[in-house]
Amino acid sequence: MTLLLGSWTIGLILALLALGVFISFRIFSFADLTADGSLTLGAAVAAALIARGYNPWLATSLAVVAGSLAGGLSGLLQTRFQINGLLSGILVATALYSVNLHVMGRSNVPLLDARTVNSDLQGVVQKVSGKVESVQLLGSSVRVSDLVNLGAILLLVCLTAWLLHLFFKTSLGTAMRATGDNPRMIRALGVDVGRMITLGLMMSNGLVALSGAMLAQYQGFADVQMGIGMVVLGLASVILGQALVGRGGIGLSICGAIMGSLLFRLMIALALRAGLDPNDLKLITAVFVLLALVLPRAFQLRVKPAPAGRL
C-alpha cells in the first residue's frame, strides 16, 4: 500500500512535468529539451531558498518563475534568432546545468528537517485531526503524512489541469493551439507566431519547474543530476496518455497526459519490484518512447493524395 501511495505521489508530481511536455510536444509538435534543465532549476531554486529559511510557498512560486524564464529564453533563441528548436533547448539546458550548480552552491541540497510545502500541509492536517499517526486503509496501515502528500499533489495537479484547460479555451489559448496546428493560417489572422511559441514555452517550463520544486520537497533533496532524461519521461507519459484517451478534445488530452504519467510510474514501480535493475530505467523509458513513436508509423498505410486539379 505504501509503495502504491508513493508511486502515485511521484506519478502525480511528474504529471506536472507531463503537462509541461504536453504543451511543447502536443501543441507545438516538437520536443523541448529545455525541460531537462528547467526541472532541475525548479528543484534548485526551491531547495536553495528553503534551505536558507525562506517561506516554502514563496520558494516554490519563484521556482516556477525561474522555469518560465528559462523557457522564455529558449523560445526567444528559437523564434528571434531562428535557431532550431531542439538545439535551442539543448543550449539552454546545458547552460542551466552550471546555473543550477550556482543556485545550489553544490551538487546536492538536502531538505531533511526544513519547512516545506508538504510539512506545512501535514501540520494543518494534524491540527485538525489530532495526533493520529496512521490510519487503516484497505486492510493495511497507512501513514497520515503519506496520505497528505498524495492529497496535496492530487489537488495541485487537478487545479493545474483545470486552469490549463480553461486557458486553452480562451482567445489567447485557442490562438496558441492554432499556432501549432497551422502557423501560416494564424499569422494571416494577425497572430505573432514567435511570441505565441515563446509564451507557450514559458508556460511549459514553468510547469516543469513546478514539478521539480515539488519533487525536491517530496523526496527531501535537490540534486543537480535529477533532470537528466526528464524530457523523455514526460514524452513517455504524454504518448501513453494519448494511447489511453485517443485523439479527443483538449480537455481529454490533458487528462490523458496525467493518466499517462500515473500509469507509467505504476508500471515502473511494478517492474522494479519484479527485479528490474534501476540502472536500466532510463534505457527502458527511451526504448518505450522510441517504440511508441515508430510502431504506429510502421503500420500506417501510406496513401498518396490525389494530384491537385487545375482549372
Partner 1 sequence: MATLEVRGLYKTFFPGTPDEVRALRGLDFSIEPGSFVVVIGTNGSGKSTTLNAVAGTFLADAGSITLAGHNITRWPEHRRARFIGRVFQDPLAGTSPTLSIAENFALASQRGQPRRLGLAVTRRRIAEFREHVRPLGMRLEDRLDNPIGSLSGGQRQALTLLMATFRKPELLLLDEHTAALDPRSAEQVIRLTDEIVRSQQLTTMMVTHSMAHAASLGDRLVMVHQGRLILDVTGAEKRRLRPHDLLEKFEELRRSDQLDETAAQLIRASYV
Assess contact for 122 and 148: CB atoms under 8 A: yes
What whole-number distance in Å separates Cα of residue 162 and Cα of residue 205? 18
Asked if 267 touches partner 1 (CB under 8 A), the answer is no
- Residue position matching grid coordinates 525541460: 35
Binding partner 1 (rule: CB under 8 A), the pick from 106, 184, 302, 304 is 184
Which range binds partner 1 by CB under 8 A, 84-92, 156-164, 176-184, 205-213? 176-184
What whole-number distance in Å separates Cα of residue 41 and Cα of residue 54? 17
Assess contact for 265 and 10: CB atoms under 8 A: yes
Which range binds partner 1 by CB under 8 A, 99-107, 169-177, 257-265, 270-278? 169-177
Asked if 165 touches partner 1 (CB under 8 A), the answer is no
Asked if 191 touches partner 1 (CB under 8 A), the answer is yes
Residue 300: CB atoms within 10 A of its CB come to 8
Asked if 147 touches partner 1 (CB under 8 A), the answer is no
Assess contact for 106 and 230: CB atoms under 8 A: no
Distance of closest approach, residue 197 Cβ to partner 1, in angstroms = 13
Assess contact for 245 and 252: CB atoms under 8 A: yes
Asked if 203 touches partner 1 (CB under 8 A), the answer is no
Asked if 234 touches partner 1 (CB under 8 A), the answer is no
Asked if 309 touches partner 1 (CB under 8 A), the answer is yes
Q: How far is CA 232 from CA 3, 81, 189, in A?
A: 24, 26, 34
Asked if 29 touches partner 1 (CB under 8 A), the answer is no
DSSP designation for 30: S
Binding partner 1 (rule: CB under 8 A), the pick from 82, 136, 171, 279 is 171
Asked if 181 touches partner 1 (CB under 8 A), the answer is yes
β-partners of residue 115 are none
Asked if 167 touches partner 1 (CB under 8 A), the answer is yes
- Measured from the CB atom, is 143 or 195 closer to partner 1? 195
Asked if 200 touches partner 1 (CB under 8 A), the answer is no
Asked if 251 touches partner 1 (CB under 8 A), the answer is no
Which range binds partner 1 by CB under 8 A, 74-82, 106-114, 183-191, 226-234? 183-191
Q: Which of 260, 216, 268 is nearest to 22 (CA)?
A: 260
Distance of closest approach, residue 82 Cβ to partner 1, in angstroms = 14
- Specify the DSSP element, H or E, that contains 108: strand 108-110
Residue 122: CB atoms within 10 A of its CB come to 19
Q: Give contact residues for partner 1 (rule: CB under 8 A).
A: 167, 169-175, 177-178, 181-182, 184-193, 308-311
